[in-house]
Chains A and B, each alone.
Chain A
Amino acid sequence: MAVAIPPAIERRLDRLERIWEEPSGLVGWLTTTNHKRIGLLFLFTTLLFFLAGGVEALLIRTQLLAPEKGVLGPDAFNQMFSTHGVTMIFFVVVPMSIGAFGNYLVPLMVGARDMAFPRMNAFSFWVFLCSGVFLYTGVFAGHAPNAGWFNYVPLASKEFDPGPNVDFYALALLFSGISTTATSINLIVTIFKLRAPGMSINRMPLFCFAFLAVSFALVFALPPLNVALVLLELERLAGFHFYDVGSGGSALLWQHLFWIFGHPEVYIIILPAFGIATSIIPTFARRRMVAFPLVALAEILVAFIGFGVWAHHMFAVGLTQLTTIYFAAASLVIVIPSGIQLFAWITTLVTGRPRFKTPLLWIVGFIVFFIVGGLSGIMFAAIPFDQQMTDTYFVVAHFHFVIFGAAMFPLVGGLYYWFPKVSGRLFDERLGKLSFWLTFVGATVTFFPMHIVGLLGMPRRQYTYPGGLGWTGYNLAETIGSYVLGAGLLLVVVNLAVSLRCGAPAGDDPWEGDTLEWSIPSPPPEYNYAVIPTVSSPYPMWDREDRELDERRLAAGEMTLERGHETPTSSVEDANLDEIVAMPSASWAPLLTALMLAALFAMLVTRHWVAAGGFFGLAFAVVGVWHWNEPEGA
């Protein structure tokens, strides 16, 4: 800082820190409502699930190393690939994006002290953790989901899958959906109402646009999934008829309901990655994002148009010609906003003076993978080609390029980028670059040959395959690639874990970043911002006059809201200061409510209906107690 802080101000800052501090030790973590702690809880939990999903993947690849291997029998393999998909999508990528990155960074980027609903934030995390434990209890009991991550009926009906596998699937997703919905609502209200006064909508970082878009998409995409799952469980557990043709139901009803959720879900998977990319690129290119308004609009359009293309997952089921043509056309339309963003990113790099440090390398890798995955996606909009290649390894290649390459790479890049801010330390740059190259090469060798082997006729979801069809060599290469990929990711974790202890001090702003979080110490103080930041553009850190104004105000003791646990709220469009709200402090209620819900779902999967009803009522009661104490004023 340029201006020295007088001791009297230091003492007031200490007092502010104490007001925002939470209890220490385990109790502090169990009762936390602080968005930074909750973000870290999400991060560590999703990393654990990532490990689980990765082990599942390696087991799958080891089984497919050669024809007719005996590593996994058909039942174990079917559980393995289904659980791998469910874990990676619902328990890794989405919660890591919105739960870890969203929670930790959105309040910092908008200049707020916490999320809009801190206790609901904690509730989100505990529900997420409980739902993951619920799922994996089923997995370890040998009752993992086994009908694929999209769980088509009638295979997933009681007649053909009588065990509890599908019940674990459906109930775990219903359970975790509560967490995702809560986090989405929290993010939207935070972005709408908690922005620093002066940060009008058009001055909001692109990261926030992406997270706003993804949260709205989730609010509208989860209901169809919830309906599909509830109808499925009513059919499985209570004998209702929705999907069985014999009683007036329809097997395609499940597919429509699932994909009306499922297609927006894949844009939900990638939008936060877009947001991370658009944070890292301007910083390392040392220039503003090209065509900022177009990029912001494109992020919102992707979320919106994504709701209109779902039946392109159903081109082979025998829909009418008109229907298939409409969905193919809509699927092509959505290429446009993605293309806009791609060209904006690339042009920003070309016209800037990029420093190819580790975070940017991961984003460049993301761009390469996103282009390949996007191109194979466009191919699927050619209906006859889709009808030839759907349900083969060609589509497995496509979605791994976009989910692993285009969603996971920015997440890792983001881990590297914000690691100094969160931990206060720098990571090892050489190890960082090595981890990137290992992962990039590993992913290419794992997933690219899948295009070829799909074209050679290999269907997906096969626990083994015959030799002599030209598939063996490619499968071997893919398995080798997967181990290299695993090593690369392991190296990321090792690098960050070691740097956590031994890394050099990072300082406030090691990257010369553009957004507000780089203006505060690393790691951030409990209260985030002592002074409400002045904002005149989406690149607040590059507006030196504003930052110097903040520093002078701090030195002069013109701090705001230091009397209690408070934060300002502002209007939605222009961010005019609206009201001061008191924020809740640490509380046991979110954890307790989550535990009541966990008991409820445990009773449902074991078919103890009365006990389930009891826990449902208890959950309501805890929520009542939770809201009995209103947040205190000054």
Chain B
Amino acid sequence: MSAMDASSPAAVASTDRRQGAWPNGFWGLLLLLATEGALLMVLYATYFYLRTRAVEWPLGGIEAPDPVVPLILTATLVATSLPMALASGAARRGRARAAWIAILVALFVQAGYFAFEMHSFASDLDTFQPDDNAYASIYYTVLGADHFHVFVGMLLNLWLLARLLGGLTSYRAVGVRAVSWYWHFANLMTLFTIGTILSAAV
């Protein structure tokens, strides 16, 4: 009656139904998200601490970011929580193909988002550099931290796509569920990030 080798959809689904409590791996992920969330929150607090001590903001004549494009991009990224949630639900019901497709859709959009953001980063660097002043430094650090978390999320999605090619087990179903929660976290944090960065325009 080992949970690990259940691999038919019915077996996976029945294991998921039988599990009353959250699996160990899921708790592990939640705690990792707690610590990473705390880290990002401290970064945001640092941004506002530096801001309240500044005479003008942004410093050094740097232009405040234009809100339109970042907001659209963020909305696009946050929307990928939907296919990730669908993937998680499908995996728990033992439906491997549906889960795989949903993850692929999400990854596609996330990759597009990431490419746009890298382009935006590069064009920002043409205008002002992180070693210009504290505004520039915290701007690039907050954005960089968020992009890093998005990048890791994309790697996790790639991993899932590779793993699910070999079939769905309840172990892997827990993995899909965990990664979908990772993405809800990353998307929520991106909302905070963009709010922090765009606050300079206010």
CB interface residues, A 383-406, toward B, < 8 Å: none
**A630 and B4 within 8 A (CB):** yes
**B31 and A219 within 8 A (CB):** yes
- B60: chain A residues within 8 A (beta carbon): 248
CB interface residues, B 121-177, toward A, < 8 Å: 130-138, 140-141, 155, 159, 169, 171-172
Once A234-B137, A630-B171 are accepted as A-B contacts, the answer to whether A192 and B27 lie under 8 Å apart by CB is: yes
**B42 and A227 within 8 A (CB):** yes
A207 to B136, CA, bound (A): 47
Say which one of A50-58, A497-505, A567-575 lies at the interface with B. A567-575
**B19 and A185 within 8 A (CB):** no
- B27: chain A residues within 8 A (beta carbon): 116, 188-189, 192-193
**A185 and B32 within 8 A (CB):** yes
Q: Does A4 reach chain B (CB closer than 8 Å)?
A: no
Say which one of A12-20, A25-33, A239-247, A425-433 lies at the interface with B. A239-247
**A578 and B21 within 8 A (CB):** yes
Residue of A nearest to B155 (CB): A620
Q: Does A519 reach chain B (CB closer than 8 Å)?
A: no
- A630: chain B residues within 8 A (beta carbon): 4, 169, 171-172
Give 1 or 0 for each of B1-23: 1 = CB within 8 Å of chain A CB: 11111000000000000111101
Once A240-B137, A242-B138, A248-B50 are accepted as A-B contacts, the answer to whether A633 and B43 lie under 8 Å apart by CB is: no
Give 1 or 0 for each of B34-52: 1 = CB within 8 Å of chain A CB: 1110110111001001100
Once A242-B138, A580-B1, A632-B4 are accepted as A-B contacts, the answer to whether A571 and B131 lie under 8 Å apart by CB is: no
A249 to B132, CA, bound (A): 11
* Chain A interface extent, by class: 35 or more
**B38 and A241 within 8 A (CB):** no
Minimum CB–CB distance from B81 to chain A (whole Å) comes to 24
Q: Does B54 reach chain A (CB closer than 8 Å)?
A: yes
**A219 and B34 within 8 A (CB):** yes
A231 to B130, CA, bound (A): 12
A192 to B46, CA, bound (A): 33
Out of A194, A220, A631, A633, name the residue touching B34 (CB < 8 Å).
A220
- B112: chain A residues within 8 A (beta carbon): none
- A253: chain B residues within 8 A (beta carbon): 46, 49-50
A581 to B21, CA, bound (A): 13
Q: Does A250 reach chain B (CB closer than 8 Å)?
A: yes
Once A116-B28, A241-B133, A564-B2 are accepted as A-B contacts, the answer to whether A579 and B35 lie under 8 Å apart by CB is: no
* Chain B interface extent, by class: 35 or more
**A241 and B137 within 8 A (CB):** yes
Residue of B nearest to A573 (CB): B21
- A257: chain B residues within 8 A (beta carbon): 42, 46
Q: Does B119 reach chain A (CB closer than 8 Å)?
A: no
Q: Does A203 reach chain B (CB closer than 8 Å)?
A: no
Out of B4, B36, B54, name the residue touching A631 (CB < 8 Å).
B4
Minimum CB–CB distance from A426 to chain B (whole Å) comes to 37
Residue of B nearest to A189 (CB): B27
Minimum CB–CB distance from B158 to chain A (whole Å) comes to 10
Minimum CB–CB distance from A204 to chain B (whole Å) comes to 16
Give 1 or 0 for each of A111-131: 1 = CB within 8 Å of chain B CB: 000001100100000000000
A633 to B6, CA, bound (A): 10
**B134 and A247 within 8 A (CB):** yes
A219 to B137, CA, bound (A): 26
Residue of A nearest to B35 (CB): A219
- B54: chain A residues within 8 A (beta carbon): 248
**B19 and A227 within 8 A (CB):** no
A116 to B24, CA, bound (A): 7
**A633 and B21 within 8 A (CB):** no
**A633 and B5 within 8 A (CB):** yes
A181 to B130, CA, bound (A): 29
**B38 and A220 within 8 A (CB):** yes
A230 to B138, CA, bound (A): 12
- A116: chain B residues within 8 A (beta carbon): 24, 27-28
Q: Does A2 reach chain B (CB closer than 8 Å)?
A: no
Residue of A nearest to B3 (CB): A579
Once A219-B31, A564-B2, A630-B169 are accepted as A-B contacts, the answer to whether A117 and B24 lie under 8 Å apart by CB is: yes
**B28 and A633 within 8 A (CB):** no
Q: Give 5 CB contacts A-B under 8 Å.
A: A116-B27, A193-B24, A235-B137, A260-B42, A564-B2
Q: Top 6 closest A-B pairs, CB basis?
A: A633-B2, A248-B134, A239-B131, A223-B39, A633-B4, A240-B137
New contact pairs (18) apart from A230-B141, A234-B130, A242-B50, CB-CB < 8 Å: A116-B27, A117-B28, A185-B28, A185-B35, A188-B31, A223-B36, A239-B131, A240-B131, A240-B137, A241-B132, A241-B137, A248-B59, A248-B134, A249-B50, A576-B20, A579-B19, A630-B171, A633-B4
